[in-house]
Amino acid sequence: MKSAEYIGLRDTSKVGYASRLEMLRTEHGHRSVAGLSRERIITGILQPFADRPGAALDTLKKLRILIHHAINIGWLKHDPSLGIKRPKIQRIRSWTEDEIEAFRTKWPLGSKQRLAFELFLNTGQRRSDVVRMSWSHITPDSKIVVSQQKTGRRLLIPLHRDLGCRKARAHLHPLFGKPFTVDGFSQWMRDAITDAGLPLGCQSHGLRKATGRRLAEAGATAKMIMSVLGHTTLAEAERYTEEADQAGLAEDAVVKLEGHKANRFAQTTSGGLGKPSKSKEKSK
């Protein structure tokens, strides 16, 4: 925790690191670092989280950070976690169009729940960014300025028409008369989603996935999607668009293929212009 890498973390990241590191310290701090092996990591550290893949994955991530630090200061010569597979966790899915309409039916324009929903869906940002959005972030030319808390990236996103109306362009912060905490905002959205009769699979982060899916289905390129969601790699953009409409995209792809082939060949064949002469007449 005295390293430059840890000190340079955001305060919110330090909270997550500290809780997991404290668990490792409490449960395994009395063991020898030099005795750390692949087998001991699997059976002694990860096995207790067999029924909680999310916790197992986070533990493995934090453990690998500690291992790399130990290598840097000479406590280890190699990484004993190499070859350990990342625990598979259930990914948050994109909302379907029917689920989007069900929420809108329950919460009409002008409601605070609808405002938060449209900000999620039409900016594609995380809850830690949406909760901090306010009127002051909207520019005179109808764009919203986003400074992503997770990445530090600064984005300028045009307001979708669903956010352009006067009712939607409200100040999100004082929904309860004071600024939200991220956790409080998340629970408030969870209640709004449940009240709309939607399943637990519909999560706030799934609206970010829906933004990526919708952009892909609209024909946006990976670079376009990255410019809205704030991703820095193509792999991230592809992960958020993997639920795009496969049938529709396949149809568009075949239409492009047919158009490409049609442009390569003449529309009429030589047979339509009469039979070619078998012998050439000598010029007189």
Query: What are the residue boundaries of the structural domains of the chain, listed by start?
Result: 4-72, 97-240
pLDDT digits over 84-143, tens only? 988 877 778 899 999 999 999 999 988 889 989 999 999 999 998 998 888 788 888 888
Tokens of 180: 């939200």
Q: How many residues does the chain have?
A: 284
Burial (CB count <10 Å: 0-12, 13-18, 19+), residue 47? exposed
Q: Is the pTM of the predicted complex or chain greater than 0.85?
A: no
What is the phi/psi pair of residue 131, to 5°?
-65, -25
Q: Residue 277: pLDDT above 60?
A: no
What is the phi/psi pair of residue 155, to 5°?
-115, 150
Q: Residue 281: pLDDT above 60?
A: no
Domain 97-240 classified CATH 1.10.287.610? no
The residue type at 150: K
**How would residue 166 be classed by pLDDT, with cut points 50, 70 and 90?**
very low
pLDDT digits over 13-39, tens only? 788 788 888 999 999 989 988 889 999
